[in-house]
Structure 1
């Protein structure tokens, strides 16, 4: 037996569905001594009677049918046609169906009655065969059929975690949720898993659910356009009107994948104009969410909007009406999840500490020959070396399959495709067959033959954008950022000044700038990079100049004189002002992701200026009023206060807690990956070095699973578990107010007060 509250909800649902089906109000009513759960008066000559019953008992059904038959006869005498329904929780038996048929009474389960309103089974079966967002097999463009790896999704604080089942439950309660995550972190797999879970709930009397890829509805300005377009793609165009009725009545849960894929991200214009463009692009999505009276899950990248306020306004979800509207995808699998994935696809290799554990990376690894993938996974090199090996393995693989092309030519094809991606308006590219063929010809000097065409169609660093389109894109931003940086290094080495005349629309992100900076430093290309920067005054391609200056700013060196270079309208991921003095260079009307003032070498005599730029984040200054006079106009999104470090240093915290904060800072918040053990055996925040205490702290962090320890040539490397970053930040912020167990445990290591 269902609980009374659940049964009442089911009765309410049947009344609501009946109201939609007959476009009349359905209400309970007692007629001739019989209580009906829903009565709809269609006209003076027609009435609909609905009885909802929980019992699956033939004698009870026979009794109900007898009462209904008598009432039908009474109505018939008065010239009124009464159409009667008995709706059961479960499927009726053949005997029940025969009794009902003989008495002209319709009998069905809740599921079948729902289907008579909207054929959800047909929709669900069709939808499960289609692609969910970017959850696709990169080789075929078909849906990703690998087993779902259960992961957790975090709230804004990082303290509360949710499973896909928890999200499904929240949606059934009518909550509206925004799931944020970078490309390849599993947003689309979450939508697929959540949809599958909700499909099963529909069979138990739950709401219907539509899962919509928003990129399929670019330019849609109304809710009806999106619903109609979606159902037409499913081959269900005859159900559009009924679907809209159910949506408005609160019987459809919406899963919307990719709010960032219905409009371009645009730079080089003012902030208010960009905001208005994004809001206009999401007009149809916003109307759809506002019209939906049930739960909504919508996904997208976290930095598409200029902050949460704009996101809420553009999407149409208000945090005031929802307890936790925002959830975050973990950026990576944890070790256990990664190992489970490898095991599921037949790999025996363990997961190395340095491997980026993004779900999409594992999907690409699964497409590489097993022995080659296991060779990559057994390497103990760092991230930049991994990507080189990874792409080399892909090129070797393709050359072995297609003997008409050698590995270096495959690498050249990728380089040319990356260059073409630079010119386009999509971060991962939208490469037409013509683009791909031309890249092959540019790399080899000849048009692709049949073997070359086959290689191009299967290149596993490229993936289909959707099954219906021949266009392709790079499957992961790490890969494209690596190739972007590699192209610049090749241009510097070859002194290719033609690059200054190109027009780039895609910029290096922080990852790409790190790659570029490491290569310039490793191969001693600083002077070559400066030569390219100074080559032309006002080059067409300000972007390459900006990226070279950005990369140079990360290298510890003497001051660099750029000879009055002016950089305009560029997108710059990071500008570090503590590596060396950057002289005689100005930035105007640029977008800068982060300006780092730590150990700043710039002074008023440096000839350095940032004018009318939009800066997302400034670190190393204490307040907006502390901006130097050479930062003029523009907008600063967030200024990260450095007074936290100062107050740690000057506080009366115990020595062990200060050393814990120092270790946390180095492992979790300094640039780069893991930290070698030797770099951690130092003091910090004014506290002197104490090896015993630091050993205890490191052991505690490892045993609690906050940090992972690996070996590299006999040296211990400590790597952060990124899912605990927000927890570590909270310890830093709260200090003596922190109740975190780690904070309390370190007090037992050393009773001395800070010095």
Structure 2
């Protein structure tokens, strides 16, 4: 090793030894260190109220170094004993690695009070970091748990989903973040529920712990679950409680290590600390939030400048990034990271761990937590008939339950059922906006909670409201929230629709929706249908009667349309006793079901329908449309293919191309198998997310083409263009995520397409 590098190594080692020695022996005067005794310089001399400690340190493993430093230590101890006759005297010969046998023998030969020890042994007097790491590994890491069992120790292999830097969108791998932390930089990781923040911190902790074991000169990580520290504002108390929680025998050691800058501090869940003493003062929201994170802020203020601090939580707990920075006391040079979303490949890895190896249904969410819920609950596979998925409705119904249970586990006194009802009621409240997502004011958050629970929220419930999954900050001035997860909002809207169908006489919040409101989308309709079918007591007659009764009471026709679409999904062959007319509503999509006998009883007037799907229409009477604007007419190529008396003063922005309709496909000059393949793709991808029943794939085909359907389905499944699922025991086929553009290219030019799925 070159001389300059060797000198730098010795200097760095000496500095680290002195830092630990000050924390151990000079807490009252941290400026003590190298000094002269007589004319000889000593590496470290620390004079305390009752003791004097002298330290000599070396990276050398030679015997003669021990002889030289041992003699210096002995002389220094004698001199300090004469100057301080009533204080105990100790001399430490500290080596970087374990002292050799020769070195120990030499130091032992000088007699008391000299001691030979390694740096790790000296440091263990400050804190037994290896013991801490051993115990911490057996304690939960935030909300990182195996969904099926709640086990926090036996987790599936970590799939790295890289967060991105706020402002630049630059991706940061776990290794890169670990290096930033090792270099002394602080980090703030934020994101919505289920984004994998706790899993990321667990992995970061393990990387830092591994680095410390390999190099004891590096700080060791301490990770606190902030939900364990509700009501605490003092860092010392929090560290001592944490030590007791994991069974660490000497809590004061953690405090000393933190104060000496010997740790990397990781604080998970800044949105999970309840606010003591909150009594519903909605006008003091920012002050309440600021007080709730006082413990975090004090950690940032009182930690040494050299201590890296990693914070994580839900960003929408605050109204703005500025408020978050100020309330948490984040350091100026901190790295701000937003939790990322998994790529298609990462999504597959997450699901592979649960046994799912097929194509991904288009409706699947992207959040790692929700993917784990689906995998762990067998939502993506069955145990008796091979690998099948679930419909969007069944999947989201299950996920809402799991999401609510998870949130309830963070707040004593509120169960999962209540959390789900609050989310559903807020989703109903948000329907008043044009996009159905919000805003939702802080007063509305409180009133919804009170209407569901029958009492005003206390401090813990208030925290729950601020971090509700799927909601994000909308306005930093008034603190309003909005749904940021569109599918979650749509699934949650179904709750009150189901309740009013089951009991039309209930005091439903839907009764207050008398103006123009957002309709359910396909996911919401599917969730409502799933829940009503599971209840087993709902019927078409009861559903249509509820719709008519609500319309008479002045409820928005958007709600009436929701009930009608759910009933048509469950009981397509049944009709209401009286006609129903819907006025001035906006639908993203309306699909006619294959099993319907007639829609003559239904009319739309002055409505906006983004897509009218007639793919499964087989000649029965269509609904009546008057003064309606239709964006896309799917399944027909023009007015000539429609029943003329059903459309009065209507405008259609775009029809399907002739060759993309069912009749057009069957008229193509191509092989029978290609015709069947194209027809199936058209049917499955025409209906967003919810797919088609297996029986619907045969409709509209003659006997010759029907015989080819099983082989075509097998070919499309093998190519990853469709994926099988089950909905209430019925086999359905779903579009595959990421394949819509490929299918669109095939259908737009089927005869010139060179796609491998088609026969030459």
TM-score normalised per structure 1: 0.55
Q: Paired residue for 1:420?
A: 418
Say which of 285, 301, 316 aligns to 1:303.
Answer: 316
Matches within 5 A, 1:121-132: 121-132=130-141
Question: How many angstroms apart in 2 are the aligned matches of 1:75 and 1:259?
Answer: 50
Residue 90 of structure 1 deviates from its aligned partner by: 1.6
Question: How many angstroms apart in 2 are the aligned matches of 1:3 and 1:481?
Answer: 62
Q: For residues 433-457 of structure 1, give each alpha carbon's deviation from its aligned partner in whole angstroms, at most 9, with x where no partner exists.
A: xxxxxxxxxxxxxxxxxxxxxxxxx
Say which of 482, 494, 497 aligns to 2:505.
Answer: 497
Compared CA separation, residues 479 and 238, structure 1 to 2 (3 A): farther
Q: Paired residue for 2:66?
A: 61
Matched, 1:118 2:137: no
Q: Paired residue for 2:108?
A: 101
Unaligned segments of structure 2, at least 5 residues: 403-413, 427-467, 472-484, 513-517, 533-539, 567-580, 587-605, 610-628, 630-683, 689-718, 724-732, 741-760
Residue 235 of structure 1 deviates from its aligned partner by: 3.1
Q: Paired residue for 1:516?
A: 524
Compared CA separation, residues 371 and 720, structure 1 to 2 (3 A): closer
Q: Paired residue for 1:337?
A: 346
Compared CA separation, residues 172 and 339, structure 1 to 2 (3 A): same
Question: How many angstroms apart in 2 are the aligned matches of 1:69 and 1:258?
Answer: 52
* 344-353 or 109-118, which deviates more: 344-353
Q: 3-state DSSP class of the match of 2:43?
A: strand
Residue 115 of structure 1 deviates from its aligned partner by: 1.1
Q: Paired residue for 2:273?
A: 262
| Partners of 2:275 and 2:291 within 8 A in 1 | no
Residue 220 of structure 1 deviates from its aligned partner by: 1.7
Matches within 5 A, 1:244-323: 244-263=255-274, 272-293=283-304, 294-318=307-331, 321-322=332-333
Q: Paired residue for 2:232?
A: 220
Question: How many angstroms apart in 2 are the aligned matches of 1:530 and 1:182?
Answer: 39
Q: Paired residue for 2:48?
A: 42
Q: Paired residue for 2:19?
A: 16
Q: Paired residue for 1:141?
A: 150
**Count of matched residue pairs:** 500
Question: How many angstroms apart in 1 are the aligned matches of 2:739 and 2:188?
Answer: 27
Residue 346 of structure 1 deviates from its aligned partner by: 5.4
Q: 3-state DSSP class of the match of 1:261?
A: coil
Residue 678 of structure 1 deviates from its aligned partner by: 13
| Partners of 2:98 and 2:117 within 8 A in 1 | yes
| Partners of 1:210 and 1:253 within 8 A in 2 | yes
Say which of 220, 224, 227 aligns to 1:208.
Answer: 220
Compared CA separation, residues 503 and 529, structure 1 to 2 (3 A): closer
Residue 300 of structure 1 deviates from its aligned partner by: 0.8
Question: How many angstroms apart in 2 are the aligned matches of 1:547 and 1:37?
Answer: 81
Matches within 5 A, 1:272-671: 272-293=283-304, 294-318=307-331, 321-322=332-333, 324=335, 326-331=336-341, 333-344=342-353, 348-349=357-358, 351-352=360-361, 354-368=363-377, 372=381, 379=388, 383-384=392-393, 386-387=395-396, 419-422=417-420, 484-498=492-506, 500=508, 515-516=523-524, 528=546, 532=550, 535=553, 558-559=583-584
Residue 134 of structure 1 deviates from its aligned partner by: 0.5
Q: For residues 232-285 of structure 1, give each alpha carbon's deviation from its aligned partner in whole angstroms, at most 9, with x where no partner exists.
A: 212347423x53344344333211111111138999988742222211211222
Q: 3-state DSSP class of the match of 1:197?
A: helix
Q: For residues 141-167 of structure 1, give each alpha carbon's deviation from its aligned partner in whole angstroms, at most 9, with x where no partner exists.
A: 331433222331111135322122322
Matched, 1:191 2:212: no
Residue 345 of structure 1 deviates from its aligned partner by: 5.1
Question: How many angstroms apart in 1 are the aligned matches of 2:282 and 2:561?
Answer: 23
| Partners of 2:220 and 2:264 within 8 A in 1 | yes
Matched, 1:239 2:258: no
| Partners of 1:387 and 1:482 within 8 A in 2 | no
Q: 3-state DSSP class of the match of 2:242?
A: helix
TM-score normalised per structure 2: 0.55
| Partners of 1:495 and 1:532 within 8 A in 2 | no
Residue 59 of structure 1 deviates from its aligned partner by: 3.5
* 163-172 or 177-186, which deviates more: 163-172
Residue 359 of structure 1 deviates from its aligned partner by: 2.3
Q: 3-state DSSP class of the match of 2:338?
A: strand
Q: For residues 568-596 of structure 1, give each alpha carbon's deviation from its aligned partner in whole angstroms, at most 9, with x where no partner exists.
A: xxxxxxxxxx9859xxxxxxxxxxxxxxx
| Partners of 2:99 and 2:116 within 8 A in 1 | yes
Compared CA separation, residues 423 and 149, structure 1 to 2 (3 A): closer
Q: For residues 694-720 of structure 1, give each alpha carbon's deviation from its aligned partner in whole angstroms, at most 9, with x where no partner exists.
A: xxxxxxxxxxxxxxx962499997739
Question: How many angstroms apart in 2 are the aligned matches of 1:511 and 1:127?
Answer: 49
Residue 380 of structure 1 deviates from its aligned partner by: 7.4
Compared CA separation, residues 338 and 62, structure 1 to 2 (3 A): farther
Q: Paired residue for 1:154?
A: 164
Question: How many angstroms apart in 1 are the aligned matches of 2:232 and 2:551?
Answer: 43
| Partners of 1:517 and 1:551 within 8 A in 2 | yes
| Partners of 2:363 and 2:737 within 8 A in 1 | no
Which of the two has higher C-alpha Rg?
A: 2
Question: How many angstroms apart in 2 are the aligned matches of 1:715 and 1:501?
Answer: 34
| Partners of 1:228 and 1:237 within 8 A in 2 | no
Compared CA separation, residues 65 and 530, structure 1 to 2 (3 A): farther
Q: 3-state DSSP class of the match of 2:240?
A: helix
Question: How many angstroms apart in 1 are the aligned matches of 2:233 and 2:53?
Answer: 38
Question: How many angstroms apart in 2 are the aligned matches of 1:371 and 1:715?
Answer: 12
Question: How many angstroms apart in 2 are the aligned matches of 1:135 and 1:390?
Answer: 17
